[in-house]
Amino acid sequence: MTARDDARARVDLYAALGQPGSGRVRYAAAMYFNCKGLLSSEALEVYRICSARDGDDPAALMATRGLAPNLPPPPDLNREQALRLLLDEVDRYLATLPGAGIAESRAGLAALRDGPVRSEPRGPDATVRAHLPAALAALTDSHPALATAIEMAEPHLCWRVYDSYPPEQIGTAFNAGHAYTSLIGEGAIAADDFDLGLFLIAPGLLYRDHAHPAPELYAPLTGPHGWRFAPEGPIAVKPAHEPVWNEPGQPHLTKVGPVPFLCIYCWTRDVNEPAQIIAATDWDALERLKISA
């Protein structure tokens, strides 16, 4: 049994309540840790009882029985193990979402995910240190397995700032308050015309109107946030886990709400063509706009 086996089991132990088959997934992980002497037989029995109904929370039943969860600590993973595990969870998550772009993104992920993992220097991560913990705390409430996989992979991720925009066009606040990490594409696993990763923006910031030739999936892991798809157009507030698909050349803007914006992004082709800012007259007002929780 490897550290990746331990990590896979720990992530499965936190499989989101209510997802089909998640009760059995949690129970299988509990049996794994019980066999290793890391989970008590009393706690294992709770996972067995809850396995029959995917929405039953083992932690709640353990509390009523006076049992402490005493869950195993996160294992130490090397870079490749952590990235492979995270890509597994990204694919599991995308498989639960409806809408345009999901199939294309998952097809690219399936074709490229087993490529060799490259080494990368750790990039500037002040935004990540300041805001990723709050984003993962929000994600843990609904998707603990994905949040755990991101948390375990984060020490191995190379975060970047998107620097194709002129600073005076994108705004200094956004420039200083966002970061992204490429998992497949320019980053950890090389790809010629595909890019998938995580994108983080600080609370309250405005990502101004822009467009690019690449078709793009946003799968927001936190919310609510504001969106629009035409300069000067109205803002529509969307919750977490409602995917957004931008066709090639489609203008779009994001106004971050009170929780840091964390999403899975995917450019499915034409990834080497840069994004362009589209000027609008209402950016000052949108900078001041507050999105309610």
Residue 74 has pLDDT above 70, yes or no: no
Task: Give the per-residue pLDDT at 12.
Answer: 86
Whether domain 99-288 has CATH 3.30.1490.20: the reply is no
Token output for 137: 């705390």
Is residue 282 over pLDDT 70?
yes
The whole-number pLDDT of residue 197 equals 98
Per-residue confidence band for 3, with pLDDT thresholds at 50, 70 and 90:
low
pTM: 0.85
Extents of the domains making up the chain: 3-64, 99-288
> Which pLDDT does position 250 carry in this prediction?
97
CB atoms under 10 Å from CB of 242, counted, come to 16
Q: What is the residue-averaged pLDDT of the chain?
A: 92
Tell me: pLDDT of 196 over 60. yes
Residue 1 has pLDDT above 60, yes or no: no
User: Which are the contacts of 244, defined by CB distance < 8 A and separation ≥ 6?
Assistant: 217, 218, 220, 227, 238, 252
Q: Find the helix packing angle between 102-112 and 79-94, rounded to 10°.
A: 150
Greatest CA span in the chain, whole angstroms? 63
Average pLDDT over residues 220-241: 97
